[in-house]
Amino acid sequence: MSPPPGAGRYAPSPSGDLHLGNLRTALLAWLFARTEGRAFLLRIEDMDRVRPGAEARQLRDLARLGITFDPPAIRQTDRLPAYERALASLSEQGLVYECFCTRREISEAASAPHHTLRPDGAYPGTCRTLTPGERAARRTLRPAALRLRVPEGVVTHTVTDRLAGEVTAMVDDLVLRRNDGVYAYNLAVVIDDAFQQVGQVVRGDDLLTSAPRQAYLAGLLGLPIPEYVHVPLVVAPSGTRLAKRDGAVTLADLAPHGWTPDRVRSLLAVSLGLAGPGEAVTMEDLAARFDPGGIPREPWRVDPAALT
Ligand code: GLU
Is 28 near ligand 1, meaning CB less than 6 Å away? no
Percent of the chain predicted with pLDDT > 70: 97
Q: What is the pLDDT of residue 153?
A: 85
- 197: region left, alpha or beta (phi > 0 left; psi from -120 to 50 alpha): left
Identify the band that residue 217 occupies on the pLDDT scale cut at 50, 70 and 90.
very high
Is 203 near ligand 1, meaning CB less than 6 Å away? yes
Q: Average pLDDT for residues 7-31, to the nearest whole number?
A: 98
Q: Average pLDDT for residues 9-17, to the nearest whole number?
A: 97
* Total-model pTM: 0.95
Q: Average pLDDT for residues 201-214, to the nearest whole number?
A: 97
Q: Which ligand 1 atom minimizes the distance to the CA of 12?
A: 4
Task: Using the predicted structure, report yes or no on whether residue 2 has a pLDDT greater than 80.
Answer: no
**Average model confidence (pLDDT) for the chain?**
95
Q: Identity (one letter) of the amino acid at 147? A: R
Q: Average pLDDT for residues 79-83, to the nearest whole number?
A: 98
Q: Average pLDDT for residues 49-58, to the nearest whole number?
A: 96
Strand partners, 300: 234
Q: Which ligand 1 atom minimizes the distance to the CA of 9?
A: 8
Q: Average pLDDT for residues 181-206, to the nearest whole number?
A: 98
Q: What is the pLDDT of residue 117?
A: 57
Is 29 near ligand 1, meaning CB less than 6 Å away? no
Is 218 near ligand 1, meaning CB less than 6 Å away? no
DSSP label of 180: T
Q: Please, what is the angle between helix 261-271 and helix 54-65, to 10°?
A: 70
Residue 207 CA to ligand 1 center (angstroms) comes to: 8
Identify the band that residue 119 occupies on the pLDDT scale cut at 50, 70 and 90.
low
3 state SS of 188: helix
Residue 248 CA to ligand 1 center (angstroms) comes to: 22
Identify the band that residue 114 occupies on the pLDDT scale cut at 50, 70 and 90.
low
DSSP label of 298: S
Q: Average pLDDT for residues 14-27, to the nearest whole number?
A: 97
Is 13 near ligand 1, meaning CB less than 6 Å away? yes
Q: Give rounded-to-5 percent helix, strand, coil for the chain.
A: 40, 20, 40
Task: Using the predicted structure, report yes or no on whether residue 168 has a pLDDT greater than 60.
Answer: yes
Q: Among 9, 10, 13, 22, say which to mutate for ligand 1: greatest number of ligand atoms within 8 Å of CB.
A: 13
Q: Average pLDDT for residues 109-121, to the nearest whole number?
A: 66
